[in-house]
């Protein structure tokens, strides 16, 4: 059961997000710069063939994992999402404190990396409009982080309205791109890139796994509503519905976008394009239209980062409320009622990261870092909860339990392996460092008590 302190603190937040506002936050989180940068990468990894399979694999993982998030989110609709899920699933007084601390340590590195990766991608795509040196790309990415922090510094009901406006721009842009591709479609070109040739060699599966790591990055964010669960109206229905709406909608859009591009741009050209969507529109409608499209892609990227930063800012807040992190992060703005310290600190770290790193360096590191504690940890935790809690305690129950959970764990393990030895080691190392900090903190606390 959730302790009284958590419930009392959550009452400071206002439940104002409905299904469509939550769905819009999820979807704009999912569609950032990722697909526009990674479509050529997937073409290249798959050598211009079977290009839809990695996107289908990413969708399957997202759907299966959504069942896990839906059960946990509906049962524990509090700010911080995974932090609460791990704490409750592994026993609040025992292993749950350890698992949730591992997660919050990861978030303080991972969340700024995610925000920085989007800001860096924004600056790179901005170079289609105005060629920028490396230094100026860093300046633009830093400005993006500052602007996001300023825009999020407001009440949740205002953020819900902004999210709908941003969502309209995201969906409208992708639908326009799909329409353009389908009305200039070359069937032979598409089938050359998408057809399955029956090759089931080890090399094919290695390529599929590596490409799926890229596509999964583009799907991440379907669970964003869980991070702001303390601000969702009727969370027992809003949280599950918004996630399934988001995954279904984005899957359709991603597949249609890939089909449209593959039917217009030859696979060999797509593999080497730095601005594939802008090049795609330039082929269809000319340079001016490509410029407008690039501006819209930048809109999409900014919208995604808006949602990402919103969700992550609630995680340190939740941990601080629970006494498992620095108390200053539990502060709520006195009039706007949102965790402003948490937002500002994450914004500052993301700003620094946006100046230090390159996009290529962070995507697989982000995936590897999250899999063991967050995705697999939650899945195992849900099975533990089912053993200790009666069925009636779960407002939402997945179909065919526990099959989706088991398949999800297997998929995530394969994805973790596909990130490569270096990233696997870095993910495990991060867990080791976090564990050391947990026991150091525990030892210091026990000395203070005595």
Over the stretch 257-275, which tens digit does the pLDDT of each residue have? Answer: 999 999 999 999 999 888 8
Give bridge partners of residue 17 from the DSSP assignment: 232
Q: Above 70 in pLDDT, residue 193?
A: yes
Q: Which of 59, 102, 54 is nearest to 319 (CA)?
A: 102
Please compute the mean of the pLDDT values over residues 3-24 and round it to a whole number: 69
| Angle at the Cα of 174 from the Cα atoms of 171 and 180, rounded to 5 degrees | 140
Three-class SS of 238-265: HHHHHHHHHHHHHHHHHHHHHHHHHCCC
Tell me the C-alpha distance between 247 and 58, whole Å. Answer: 10
Q: What are the tokens at 256?
A: 């249609």
pLDDT of residue 338: 82
Q: Which residue has the higher pLDDT, 334 or 450?
A: 334
Show me where the domains of the chain are located.
8-444
Of 39-53, 339-353, 429-443, which range is least confident?
429-443
Q: How far apart are the first and last CA of the chain?
A: 29
Taking only the tens place, the pLDDT of each residue in 380-434 is 999 999 998 888 899 999 999 999 999 999 999 988 888 888 888 888 998 999 8
Query: Exposed, middle or buried: residue 329 (CB in 10 Å: 0-12, 13-18, 19+)?
Result: buried
Q: Give CA 72 to chain center in angstroms.
A: 17
pLDDT of residue 380: 96
pLDDT of residue 363: 67
pLDDT of residue 335: 82
Of 56-70, 120-134, 147-161, which range is least confident?
147-161
Tell me the C-alpha distance between 295 and 289, whole Å. Answer: 10
Q: Which of 155, 106, 130, 134 is nearest to 377 (CA)?
A: 106
Taking only the tens place, the pLDDT of each residue in 63-80 is 999 999 999 999 999 888
pLDDT of residue 359: 62
pLDDT of residue 318: 84
Tell me the C-alpha distance between 438 and 32, whole Å. Answer: 34
Four-residue CA torsion sign, 346, 347, 350, 356: negative
Average pLDDT value over all residues in the chain? 87
Share of the chain above pLDDT 70, in %: 93
CATH of span 8-444:
1.20.1740.10
Tell me the C-alpha distance between 411 and 406, whole Å. Answer: 9
Query: Exposed, middle or buried: residue 150 (CB in 10 Å: 0-12, 13-18, 19+)?
Result: exposed
Q: Above 80 in pLDDT, residue 163?
A: no
Which residues lie closer than 8 Å to 195 by C-beta, 6 or more apart? 49, 50
Q: What are the tokens at 347?
A: 């914004």
Q: Give CA 122 to chain center in angstroms.
A: 16
């Amino acid at each position: 059961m959730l302790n009284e302190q958590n419930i009392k603190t959550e009452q400071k937040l206002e439940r104002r997000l409905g299904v469509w506002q939550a769905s819009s936050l999820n979807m704009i989180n999912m569609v950032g710069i990722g697909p526009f940068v990674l479509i050529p990468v997937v073409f290249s990894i798959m050598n211009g063939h079977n290009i839809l399979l990695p996107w289908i694999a990413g969708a399957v993982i997202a759907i299966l994992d959504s069942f896990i998030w839906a059960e946990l989110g509906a049962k524990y609709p509090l700010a911080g999402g995974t932090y609460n899920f791990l704490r409750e699933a592994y026993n609040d007084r025992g292993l749950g404190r350890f698992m949730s601390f591992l997660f919050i340590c990861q978030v303080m590195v991972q969340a700024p990396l995610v925000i920085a990766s989007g800001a860096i991608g924004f600056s790179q795509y901005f170079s289609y409009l105005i060629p920028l040196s490396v230094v100026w790309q860093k300046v633009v990415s830093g400005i993006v982080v500052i602007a996001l922090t300023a825009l999020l510094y407001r009440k949740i009901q205002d953020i819900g309205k902004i999210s709908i406006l941003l969502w309209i721009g995201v969906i409208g842009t992708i639908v326009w791109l799909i329409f353009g591709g389908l009305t200039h479609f070359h069937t032979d070109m598409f089938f050359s890139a998408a057809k399955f040739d029956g090759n089931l060699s080890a090399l094919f599966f290695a390529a599929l796994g590596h490409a799926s790591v890229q596509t999964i990055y583009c799907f991440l964010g379907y669970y964003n509503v869980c991070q702001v669960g303390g601000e969702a109206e009727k969370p027992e229905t809003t949280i599950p519905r918004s996630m399934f709406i988001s995954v279904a909608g984005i899957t359709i859009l991603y597949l249609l976008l890939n089909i449209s591009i593959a039917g217009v741009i030859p696979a060999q050209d797509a593999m080497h394009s730095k601005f594939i969507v802008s090049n795609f529109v330039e082929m269809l409608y000319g340079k001016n239209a490509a410029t407008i499209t690039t501006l819209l892609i930048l809109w999409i990227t900014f919208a995604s980062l808006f949602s990402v930063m919103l969700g992550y800012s609630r995680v340190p807040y939740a941990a601080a409320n629970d006494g498992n992190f620095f108390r200053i992060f539990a502060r709520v703005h006195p009039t706007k009622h949102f965790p402003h310290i948490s937002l500002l600190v994450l914004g500052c770290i993301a700003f620094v990261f946006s100046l230090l790193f390159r996009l290529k360096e962070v995507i697989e590191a982000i995936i590897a870092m999250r899999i063991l504690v967050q995705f697999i940890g939650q899945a195992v935790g849900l099975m533990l909860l089912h053993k200790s809690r009666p069925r009636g305690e779960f407002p939402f129950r997945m179909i065919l339990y526990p099959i989706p959970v088991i398949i999800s764990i297997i998929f995530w393990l394969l994805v973790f392996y596909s990130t490569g030895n270096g990233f696997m080691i870095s993910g495990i190392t991060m867990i080791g460092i976090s564990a050391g900090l947990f026991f150091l903190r525990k030892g210091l606390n026990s000395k203070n008590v005595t």
